[in-house]
Structure 1
Amino acid sequence: MAVDAKNWGSFIDNYPEFGGKAVVLRSYDSLKALADLMRGCDVAIATTNGSVAEVQAALEALSPQERATLKLAYYVQDYEPLFYHPESENWRIAHASYGALKNATLFAKTKWLCDMVQLTHGVKVRKVLPSVDHGIYFPDLSIERDYICIGAMLRVRTARRAPQRTARILHILRDTVPQKVVLQVFGSSDEEIEAAGIVTSDRIVNRGRLKRTEVPAFMRACDLFLDLSDFQAFGRTGLEAMASGCIPLVPVLGGTAEYAVHGKNALVVDTRSDRDILESVQMFLSLPGRERRTMQQAALETAANFSIRKAALSELRLFQEMCWQDS
């Protein structure tokens, strides 16, 4: 696994478990260094539109024979042109990324992503299985609370995660739900929230920027988790909430249909509508405890179907097919 030098520190900080795993981690500080890491590999896989450009440039440092034997792939994790202002330079790079690596195999974890790229760019994208890390995301069924906890993701650095909408909904809930309903958020520091012009409240507890290994405890402390993003290509955080015994409220736009069924194991809403969001939250709060536990059980059963092993095997099958197609 190759990580560019500028992101190396934060990667190691967020994924300390890789230190004891059989995964070779390498840092690179130049395209030549990346080419050296690619040399001798069977498959080189880009994971963002930025790494597509880097892999494409690094290929020039390889010999014609090395380029001919190296299989290329792009793991499409999101529809990244939606990250940027239309026709901006970043938008043009992201828009071109799906066809930038010649003869590459593109793959993604949701039908929505596969369809978006194929319909918009005419490029076929193979479907692999998504996953959740059950090693850290699991429920604590022994918890008995006399209150309901609503949690939310408040990421002020990422516009598509709708921080202003999330703050607006939380403030409405603060003023309308009973005092026994606890409200908490994670994703940004107090300073970042203040700098974004978002007014905080003593009733809304901010857990700050959590490491990957700290998010599960947040989810286990919640009964309902709000992801009010404009869209989610998959919405892994919603599935992670399910695996923790928490019901997620997720956007209808995107790929959340891979796991979320409204009223059964999740709340699926048009996040562009405050009314839809608030009505769904109130519906959940009005449910008898037994019905909330039924939803929780359905969420746990759904999440159990998404394992790292299944996802890894689906990707391994794809890589084997790529390497065997010329043999």
Structure 2
Amino acid sequence: MLENLPITLPSYQLEDTDVVQHQPTVDIIICVHNALAEVQRCLDSVHQYTTSPYNLIIIDDGSEMETLRYLRHFATLHPLLLLRNSTAHGYTRAANQGLQIAQSPYVVLLNSDTVVSPTWLDRLIICAESAAKIGMVGPLSNTASWQSIPDIETNGDWATNPLPTDMTVSQMAARVAAHSARLYPRLPFLNGFCLLIKRQLIKAIGYFDEIAFPAGYGEENDYCIRARQAGWELAVADDVYIYHSQSKSYSHERRKQLAEQGMQILIDKHGQSVIDEGVKICRYSQVLQGIRHRAKLLVERWNFIAQAQYYWRGKRVIFILPVMEIGGGANIILAEARAMLTMGIEVYLLNFLHHQVKFERCYPQLDIPVIYAATEVEIPQLCHNFDAVIATLHNSVEWIAPLAQLPHPPVIAYYIQDFEPYFYVEKPTHYRWFWQSAWLRRRLASYYFRWVTGFRQAWVSYLQIPQMVRFTKTDWNKTEIETQVKQPCTVIGASCHIDLFMPRLERIAHKKIRISAMIRPSSSRRGALRTMQVLRDIQQQFAEQVEIILFGAREDDPQFLALPRDFNYTNLGICLPEQLALLFNQIDIFVDFSNFQAMGLTAMEAMACGVAVIVPNQGGSQSFAVHQHNALVIDTTSYYQCYTALSTLITDDQQRMLLMNQASQDMVHFYPEKVAYRILDCLF
């Protein structure tokens, strides 16, 4: 069975209001050796952004007179303990001086060349207290070896990742926090530029090894190894960003020399294999790689938010979303609506009162206001004072059509996520046995009537309001509308909720390759029968190699029960988005054997989590999936191609891993802010 691990939802606020101020006292130790300009920036940021209770301990390790004068003056303005070494003892001994004085439940060792950000200390402690075994915590930074974002290396050396000239440290930290999933990834090594350490750990393993590492450069790695050997875990607070400017206390050449010496001492003390294994985990952590990939786009995402705030802040937008249960279309709209909230847009959803109970059960933590209408007739009145009203399903166009007759109508738009007449193309021939009785004939006649009515309503929806703004996700959908209905349509692009669907767990080698598929038997174009046939035959062929996990249909659904089920599988039923994000972190392959997909959201979500996927070559999947680059794109109407493609991913470990890695990297570009901006641009 899959592990029942919790999912932490990300925050969407750029300014956090839910960060709880820490209660335990913290001793903050800063060792100083010259580099006055960096020291001033560091101490100013600590004074400005650190919440009480804390004690500040400064160890002046033989600084020159200019730095000493500044520290003494600073000490007259702020409560702190200042200790002075008349000659430099080296970082490790200076740090131990502070650790031996500190008595609080938590200690922070903070380099004097750092700049901290708002709520930094509260967040570090929240991470530390999230699990009893966490003994040390470090933040993300621009240059902190494995904790660096977005890059860890440049030209064979550690990356420095300078901030854009127009961005402050606090602004960068706010972006990081706003999009963090608070995964708190565990690492074998933490960079010593900023370390939060629990008092219990210090009592358990003692202080830094100042004999082996008197000048620093290796002492924190040694301490990390000792901590882990004693049963402690080391975590990265992935919602904290602290700037590290690389101290001027030593030249670049001197730092490099000290680092090489420290590494050799570390190897002599603990063995090459221990170091190599730890470095491998740090370098190839899927969770950290996912964080780094997303960090590359933080500035770009914020630019969309800032521009939208400038142009459209205060606009009022409502989506007509008449849904009861979880669906891909609704999930997309919710993600993009949340992005609009960060842009200063007043976003609302409109649903029906008789949907409310099921809708709120499916989306229990919904952070977008919902207006519930008793009937369709109420909808125009409820929407008339919005700047834009957006239909999301063909029948909702008719409900908002009266708004077009107002003297000053709102912008009326249709968010087209599929070519909906295709929903009604397949005639219900499988109901021929209905002709056996008059009652069944009447039922079938009624079914045909609804089918014909639905087809006509879907077709007319694109034409009903001449001035209506039409936009869609993919070029395929745009082509269908413009070719068949002769109406213009704008492509806003594919997107998925990349802050939820991301690598959340370190993938471990399971005994069997885990294959998953979404089964939707209510629509024959979803290929449920073919999917189950392929999975059954795969399970029979590779019984000892594969584990099959289904979702999307309840086990007691009569249409699901009618499918071939004579093979071993686990059915998770209807899954919340948070549950899917967890599932996709524990599988290897996701298959979508639909006849076609207007976009293919579920495959995108799986790819964003680092899953190898197979998708149809008909429809809009190719807006994000590139065959044999980040996915397999095949003719899914062919049983042979479906079976062959899946067999290949099972037997070819190298190709599967290449697709998984590339998919995780590529999907971060499909973030919702870009599409939300394009929607607003279409509307206004």
Cα distance per residue 1:243-301 (max 9 Å; x no partner) = 1111111111100010101111111111110001111111212213x442222111011
1:71 aligns with 2:411: yes
Aligned length in residues = 311
Indicate conservation of the 8 Å contact 2:540/2:567, yes or no.
no
Name the CA distance, whole Å, in 2 between partners of 1:216 and 1:274: 28
Aligned pairs for 1:153-172 (under 5 A) are 153-172=518-537
Name the CA distance, whole Å, in 1 between partners of 2:458 and 2:631: 32
Name the CA distance, whole Å, in 1 between partners of 2:507 and 2:604: 20
Q: Secondary structure at the match of 2:459?
A: helix
Cα distance per residue 1:100-145 (max 9 Å; x no partner) = 1221010001011011000001000011122111222111452212
Indicate conservation of the 8 Å contact 2:555/2:561, yes or no.
no
* TM-score, normalisation: structure 2: 0.44
Name the CA distance, whole Å, in 1 between partners of 2:524 and 2:361: 24
Out of 441, 460, 468, the residue aligned to residue 104 of structure 1 is: 468
Name the CA distance, whole Å, in 2 between partners of 1:189 and 1:236: 20
How many Å apart are 1:49 and its aligned residue? 0.4
Cα distance per residue 1:200-251 (max 9 Å; x no partner) = 2451111112122211122222111011111100001110010111111111
CA separation of 1:123 and 1:194: change in aligned 2, threshold 3 A: closer
Q: Secondary structure at the match of 1:184?
A: strand
Out of 478, 482, 488, the residue aligned to residue 118 of structure 1 is: 482
Name the CA distance, whole Å, in 2 between partners of 1:286 and 1:235: 25
Name the CA distance, whole Å, in 2 between partners of 1:237 and 1:71: 30
Out of 530, 546, 557, the residue aligned to residue 181 of structure 1 is: 546
How many Å apart are 1:17 and its aligned residue? 2.8
1:219 aligns with 2:584: yes
User: RMSD of aligned C-alpha atoms?
Assistant: 1.9
Name the CA distance, whole Å, in 2 between partners of 1:89 and 1:235: 27
Indicate conservation of the 8 Å contact 1:140/1:245, yes or no.
no
CA separation of 1:192 and 1:252: change in aligned 2, threshold 3 A: same
2:39 corresponding residue in structure 1 = none
How many Å apart are 1:194 and its aligned residue? 6.5
2:353 corresponding residue in structure 1 = 5
Out of 386, 403, 418, the residue aligned to residue 59 of structure 1 is: 403
CA separation of 1:195 and 1:274: change in aligned 2, threshold 3 A: closer
CA separation of 1:9 and 1:127: change in aligned 2, threshold 3 A: same
Name the CA distance, whole Å, in 2 between partners of 1:190 and 1:71: 43
Name the CA distance, whole Å, in 1 between partners of 2:652 and 2:560: 37
Cα distance per residue 1:22-73 (max 9 Å; x no partner) = x3310101234212221111111100101112112x438x7x32xx332211
Q: More deviation in 180-189 or 193-202?
A: 193-202
1:83 corresponding residue in structure 2 = 423
1:268 corresponding residue in structure 2 = 633
Q: Secondary structure at the match of 1:209?
A: coil
* TM-score, normalisation: structure 1: 0.89
Indicate conservation of the 8 Å contact 2:423/2:455, yes or no.
yes
1:136 corresponding residue in structure 2 = 500
How many Å apart are 1:163 and its aligned residue? 1.3
Q: Secondary structure at the match of 1:69?
A: coil
1:39 aligns with 2:384: yes
CA separation of 1:142 and 1:195: change in aligned 2, threshold 3 A: closer
CA separation of 1:195 and 1:292: change in aligned 2, threshold 3 A: closer
Q: More deviation in 291-300 or 242-251?
A: 291-300
Q: Secondary structure at the match of 2:556?
A: helix
How many Å apart are 1:193 and its aligned residue? 5.4
Q: Secondary structure at the match of 1:44?
A: strand
Code of the aligned partner of 2:394 = N
Name the CA distance, whole Å, in 2 between partners of 1:221 and 1:121: 43
Higher relative contact order (CA 8 A, sep 6+): 1
Indicate conservation of the 8 Å contact 1:156/1:193, yes or no.
no
Q: More deviation in 179-188 or 154-163?
A: 154-163
2:620 corresponding residue in structure 1 = 255
Name the CA distance, whole Å, in 2 between partners of 1:104 and 1:33: 20
Indicate conservation of the 8 Å contact 1:43/1:319, yes or no.
yes
Name the CA distance, whole Å, in 1 between partners of 2:374 and 2:530: 38
Q: Secondary structure at the match of 1:7?
A: helix
Q: Secondary structure at the match of 2:557?
A: helix
Q: More deviation in 134-143 or 208-217?
A: 134-143
Higher gyration radius (CA): 2
2:573 corresponding residue in structure 1 = 208
Unmatched segments (≥5 aa) in structure 1: 321-327
Name the CA distance, whole Å, in 2 between partners of 1:8 and 1:101: 28
Code of the aligned partner of 1:47 = T
